[in-house]
Structure 1
């Protein structure tokens, strides 16, 4: 009986796997009858597909019965549906029709189901391999800088942060980044690691961006938007691909000079039989970072005379009054932007008492000599990045595909939050298993990382103090300094006698001792001071699924799904609070959603499509809530009008919730009662920076200051409501238009404000500048509003040329309220209601961190076929000046506007299946900063050779 059962099973398996196979053959050309490589050919209703080769030929095996329909798509050409019958399946001839349109893109991210972008209820942008090849950007991720509405903040050559729709941040916790559906975020920090641990460049097929909340389908982490990157399927992208890229940056840097970099990548994919395929990817980048070398005097609200005020209007701020003095020889309070250890509000300055013996220094603040960022790092700017990906795919049927994948990221980079931090050897592993059909998916994945870094600023302070305590240094400075007779420079040099010099053994030993000791531990050889190292070796597990009932119900589109996530935090107390027994916290989350939509045909060319979606999410430490969305799309021929309303909430990230940052400059304290208690803030009194300035200036008494001390408040989720309308059209097969307007209102906005903890918990310590700076997270009582609009145009000029451009406008306004909800007034007595976040009378009351330019535009002229083999693109990018508020020590400043010209020329070698590309960004090398304290970006020039799908 057992043998009979075995024979029956074997027969069924053989019958299922040994079916008649049909090989569909065809050739794809353009209007000049030239072959087109890389065109996607997919059997409609299945996951089975392939790509055309360099000669335009494709071969697509299938066990499905004829007739069937193929979907043929390639960026820059119209999508086509091709019917395959018994009389043509061996000799299909497909001619592509060129178009300037992006409007006919098929996208997935907005509704979690395939749809034309012109029928999507939200604004969406899509980039694919053809656009990556034509872009002057050095990588697919860098190409996002040309997408309308995207502000890409470059923190490091290997780390860039995506920001959309205001409240720009170096570490954006309000924006979800997915790679093949896998969350890209660092578990404890809560922000996406973008290009630090993303896909190798050769494996990126598409990037979709939704600039606006997507929480109704993706959960609270998609509070401000979604970036979804999809890799190439090994069934449709086979063969060997390789890329060699060499380049240079840092040209014209005084005392530093041009530095080269290399970027090597390889990809191999192969289909074995009709069911199984695999791929292997690896990329290695090594080079020199853009230098953070702004040595100008810091603009920061911590300075006593930062605001120019009108006394007649109650000291109303009228402008920024501080005039920087960049010469430390004449400026007693010199505090260089990228100089550390000299910070006026973070352990680098001393205020002499009012009765100090040297009368010329009475009540005067003096900063000690600091170290540049490169002095502290000692790396000469060297950075590296390793990325790898391995995936196995198996077709259970033509409609169902199973896959497992490993995603690896490893590299060094500099990151900016409260202060600058350096990660010398970041490592992350992600593992994913997925079962996907044309109407469902089941996915499970885990993220595990080893992330140890150290605080650059606090390390500089510690090295200075290890050599000589601040009070001793100040005493020696004061003994030499005489106003108008002996310069600050001479007094500094005397006080600095014997100082640890960068590169010396004494400096390196001290730097390494602090940088390699965790901030929870003491450094015995340096007077028991705390180390400056921290770690985030946290992990999370995520399980999710979705089912599309549309085919079953037939009359309406219904999609349901859900997810479960568990965080296992592991920072050893260096970043996050621990439980009473010293064990680490875990966090559990779950959510479920449903989306219902229906396209109603009102004629041959007119249709309307209403869609409603709602999602419920719950995190164990916060109340659950709903994220609803309603949208309506009206399509009339080539014109589409869209409108949507969304409401969303966001749970605080682990560091916003549990942060304690055990010691030092840039302490991040979470807003939860757990973090407040663990940080000792129920025992010690801390005070807002503005109130401390009022106290030290003698404008309020000690009793008044104590009455304004920090008082813990309920910490809850932040919320947003967004209204949006848009228009998308493709006119005369030449002009592509996409326009939008949105209005958002934020409440319970989570933000970190600066507080000062006086030495020994005595407010009298403020008189000598003896305090520690903290950033405490909490819900702002203010109402924040963002108005924005954007316009994208692409016009086919003719002869292969496309002129395109986009413009984005957005402005933040605020209504200031106190903890009881009462509207606050400025110093002139007027209520602060919906005023610009960058207005000085608002800035005077505190930070809002809007950090976004009001205007931004790009203009591009491209022709991928100047000749049969030659293509070129030139792009101009311009960004308006913006008010920027950054961290504890970085400061508050108007960043100037900047413009950049990018260009590339590419040459195809079809006989070698390769492309040679010469390109550059910021080719005129006009250095600019995208954020205060960040490295200034200059020209990046490169030449690359890409070999694609060899040995296919």
Structure 2
């Protein structure tokens, strides 16, 4: 039995908006392009909905980025600041939970429910009600005095809840996280003539500041750093037809061991006019766990979502039914939810999250093939990626009182995990063998005396060994086949052009922490016309997307996408 909830539509304003501003100042102190100083600022605000473990209403959020850049003939130095403010954002699940608790406490609601149910069931059931009817009567009685959506009482409770950042009583999200970033590069072309050699590096400092509503920064902002250095050499050979590029990069995060990333590639230009270009490359790379992978400590109502760097394990503490549970408990003594579903609980092996690594192989061709009066441009590539320590989320159950349960008694353990446990979603690395591979093909040419026609196709696959990690969910979320065709003319008649495109993709299975399901195949038609007015240096564009009007979903649980129309005016084009 659970309390009567509220419809999401009573908790969210589904309207979305986005306002952006971008401005830059450029200064050349020497009067030429040998030295340039640039200040660039970007601002954005808006409303939207974010879908994670819960649904979050992001209202009046604000984001900003500022960059100071110094560019020279053979070098650059850049410094960035990026920050955000969650504004009036809130968690819709906790909005519903805590509005309910405002008009009647959980204790009183369940007291009324149980009392009504017991009076009927133990009083001889004079109306001969069914079990379901008795439950409905108990719910109706417990809901007496319920704050109804749209009522002044509901609106007052709702506004109080979404202004309160304590999940025990409110739903507000606070986030003033920011980071500082510096990178630099030096090209030695004026000092070395046998090859092009570059050196560079980067530094970044994160400052997580959510007041404990997202991260485990209950006592103040969490600060950590990372840096990287690299060198690259590029050499042309065989009459400049063959180009070799090799690089080595070292990156170190405060929370993880350092990583070396070597990369090599060869490109060869064949043909009398060098219009047949072949390439092959081998690259290694890594992906540091995100700030949330490391330091999130989010109560979602149904579970606790936690990051698993070492110093996050003891920082996250929650009291459930009078028992304290920590992130360390989830890592060290948690049971796999999959094993419980199978009726045979097993302790989960959960490693602390570390950087994800990949080895990538790619071959490709780009060139032009004569087809009578016109050429056919071809861009063909194929790739194969092998992942190690793929970052994933694992669902874990932690016994609230492990000392009261005989872990060797399977039926007792199953009962305790179902009724006396806390659920965690833990960031970790999969031990499964994971790979992805695919092919991309692009064709373009001119037809019918000047019309542009093009075709793009991608094939993408993702494989992993489920037997090595039964708890692993990939979340690849990419259709196997995608096709796009375009047809248009930039100047059909004086100053007038148009373009029509069609997009198709096959159905695929979507995996996420919020919802899983099939995303249906779709075909989408887009079109645009443009008209230039040279006298005012302007181009006007009118167009639309999904012109057939058939709505589609990009993922389960999100809003349907219909047709969109636009008008634009570009000045000084």
| TM-score normalised according to structure 2 size | 0.85
Q: Counterpart in 2 of 1:941? A: 565
Which deviates further from its counterpart, 672-681 or 459-468? 459-468
Q: Is the CA contact (8 Å cut-off) linking 2:16 and 2:46 kept in structure 1?
A: no
CA 1:774–1:534: 2 relative to 1, 3 Å: farther
Q: Distance in 1 between matches of 2:507 and 2:52?
A: 21
Aligned residues: 533
The alpha-carbon deviation at position 375 of structure 1 amounts to: 1.4
CA 1:487–1:471: 2 relative to 1, 3 Å: closer
The alpha-carbon deviation at position 711 of structure 1 amounts to: 5.7
Q: Is the CA contact (8 Å cut-off) linking 2:113 and 2:138 kept in structure 1?
A: no
Q: Distance in 1 between matches of 2:151 and 2:199?
A: 63
| TM-score normalised according to structure 1 size | 0.52
The alpha-carbon deviation at position 426 of structure 1 amounts to: 1.5
Asked if 1:632 corresponds to 2:266, the answer is: yes
Which of residues 551, 554, 562 in structure 1 aligns to 2:201? 562
Q: Counterpart in 1 of 2:493? A: 867
CA 1:497–1:906: 2 relative to 1, 3 Å: farther
Higher relative contact order (CA 8 A, sep 6+): 1
Q: Distance in 1 between matches of 2:338 and 2:458?
A: 34
Q: Is the CA contact (8 Å cut-off) linking 1:728 and 1:738 kept in structure 2?
A: yes
Q: Counterpart in 2 of 1:621? A: 255
CA 1:493–1:791: 2 relative to 1, 3 Å: farther
Q: Distance in 1 between matches of 2:258 and 2:328?
A: 28
Q: Distance in 2 between matches of 1:430 and 1:923?
A: 35
Q: Distance in 1 between matches of 2:177 and 2:472?
A: 33
Q: Counterpart in 2 of 1:460? A: 96
For 1:502-901, what aligned pairs fall within 5 Å after superposition? 502-519=149-166, 529-578=168-217, 582-602=219-239, 607-636=241-270, 637-661=274-298, 664-665=301-302, 667-679=304-316, 680-683=326-329, 686-694=334-342, 699-700=343-344, 705=345, 708-710=346-348, 712-732=350-370, 733-756=374-397, 764=415, 767=418, 773-816=423-466, 823=468, 845-887=471-513, 890-901=514-525
Q: Is the CA contact (8 Å cut-off) linking 1:458 and 1:665 kept in structure 2?
A: no
Q: Counterpart in 1 of 2:550? A: 926
Q: Distance in 2 between matches of 1:798 and 1:670?
A: 58
Q: Is the CA contact (8 Å cut-off) linking 1:665 and 1:772 kept in structure 2?
A: no
Which of residues 372, 376, 387 in structure 1 aligns to 2:11? 376
Asked if 1:444 corresponds to 2:70, the answer is: no
Q: Distance in 1 between matches of 2:336 and 2:157?
A: 33
Q: Distance in 2 between matches of 1:491 and 1:471?
A: 9
Q: Is the CA contact (8 Å cut-off) linking 1:562 and 1:590 kept in structure 2?
A: yes
Q: Distance in 2 between matches of 1:676 and 1:465?
A: 30
Which of residues 378, 386, 400 in structure 1 aligns to 2:20? 386
Q: Is the CA contact (8 Å cut-off) linking 1:668 and 1:776 kept in structure 2?
A: yes
Q: Distance in 1 between matches of 2:199 and 2:436?
A: 31
C-alpha offsets along residues 802-837 of structure 1, whole Å, 9 cap, x if unaligned? 1112111111111236xxxxx46xxxxxxxxxxxxx
Matched position secondary structure for 1:550: coil
Q: What RMSD, in angstroms, separates the aligned Cα atoms of the two structures?
A: 3.0
Q: Counterpart in 1 of 2:65? A: 430
The alpha-carbon deviation at position 678 of structure 1 amounts to: 1.9
Q: Distance in 2 between matches of 1:515 and 1:691?
A: 37
- Name structure 2 gaps, 5 residues minimum: 122-127, 317-325, 405-412
The alpha-carbon deviation at position 512 of structure 1 amounts to: 2.2
- Name structure 1 gaps, 5 residues minimum: 1-349, 351-366, 521-528, 818-822, 825-841
The alpha-carbon deviation at position 920 of structure 1 amounts to: 0.8
For 1:313-328, what aligned pairs fall within 5 Å after superposition? none
C-alpha offsets along residues 304-352 of structure 1, whole Å, 9 cap, x if unaligned? xxxxxxxxxxxxxxxxxxxxxxxxxxxxxxxxxxxxxxxxxxxxxx3xx
The alpha-carbon deviation at position 734 of structure 1 amounts to: 2.6
Q: Is the CA contact (8 Å cut-off) linking 1:912 and 1:947 kept in structure 2?
A: no
Q: Distance in 2 between matches of 1:547 and 1:627?
A: 19
The alpha-carbon deviation at position 439 of structure 1 amounts to: 2.1
Q: Distance in 2 between matches of 1:935 and 1:472?
A: 38
Q: Distance in 2 between matches of 1:870 and 1:620?
A: 56
Q: Hey, which of these two has a bigger chunk of strand by percent?
A: 2
Matched position secondary structure for 1:614: strand
Q: Is the CA contact (8 Å cut-off) linking 2:392 and 2:472 kept in structure 1?
A: no
The alpha-carbon deviation at position 625 of structure 1 amounts to: 1.1
Q: Distance in 2 between matches of 1:471 and 1:846?
A: 38
Q: Distance in 2 between matches of 1:477 and 1:546?
A: 73
Q: Counterpart in 2 of 1:404? A: 39
Q: Is the CA contact (8 Å cut-off) linking 1:419 and 1:665 kept in structure 2?
A: no
The alpha-carbon deviation at position 687 of structure 1 amounts to: 3.6
C-alpha offsets along residues 20-77 of structure 1, whole Å, 9 cap, x if unaligned? xxxxxxxxxxxxxxxxxxxxxxxxxxxxxxxxxxxxxxxxxxxxxxxxxxxxxxxxxx
The alpha-carbon deviation at position 753 of structure 1 amounts to: 2.0
Q: Is the CA contact (8 Å cut-off) linking 2:179 and 2:207 kept in structure 1?
A: yes
CA 1:794–1:683: 2 relative to 1, 3 Å: closer
Q: Distance in 2 between matches of 1:872 and 1:488?
A: 63
Q: Distance in 2 between matches of 1:436 and 1:757?
A: 54
The alpha-carbon deviation at position 477 of structure 1 amounts to: 8.2
Asked if 1:499 corresponds to 2:146, the answer is: yes
Q: Distance in 1 between matches of 2:132 and 2:313?
A: 49
The alpha-carbon deviation at position 381 of structure 1 amounts to: 1.7
The alpha-carbon deviation at position 744 of structure 1 amounts to: 0.6
Q: Distance in 1 between matches of 2:113 and 2:435?
A: 46
Q: Is the CA contact (8 Å cut-off) linking 2:536 and 2:572 kept in structure 1?
A: no
The alpha-carbon deviation at position 773 of structure 1 amounts to: 4.2
Matched position secondary structure for 1:682: helix
Q: Is the CA contact (8 Å cut-off) linking 1:477 and 1:494 kept in structure 2?
A: no
Q: Distance in 2 between matches of 1:477 and 1:767?
A: 24
Q: Distance in 1 between matches of 2:158 and 2:340?
A: 32
